[in-house]
Amino acid sequence: MKEVHIDLFEAQPTKLTDDLARNAKLLVTMGCGESSPNIPGLRTDDWAIENPKGKPLETVREIRDDVRSRVLELIAHDGLKRK
């Protein structure tokens, strides 16, 4: 991620709970195979993204760039902005 100027040094994973999802406008999951919260009325989308764990660096870069492309497309299409 440093290659694209994103610092994840202090980032910590957060478990996706019903309470966390309840305040969202959109829930995007990435085909990780785990159950996701089911919040009535919450727009959801599942992106079939390959798990980068244990993959060669070039594959990880391709996955990273695919996620970036999808996020940019989502923002352009839906006008979603960061808070």
Task: Express each pLDDT in 5-55 by its tens digit.
Answer: 999 899 998 888 888 888 888 888 887 666 677 777 888 888 989 989 999
Residue 82 banded pLDDT, cuts 50, 70, 90 = low
For the segment(s) 2-78, the CATH number from 3.40.50.880, 3.40.50.2300, 3.40.640.10, 3.10.450.40 is 3.40.50.2300
| C-alpha to C-alpha distance for 20 and 37, rounded to whole angstroms | 9
Q: Please, where are the H alpha helices in 1-83?
A: 18-22, 57-78
Q: Is the pTM of this model over 0.85?
A: no
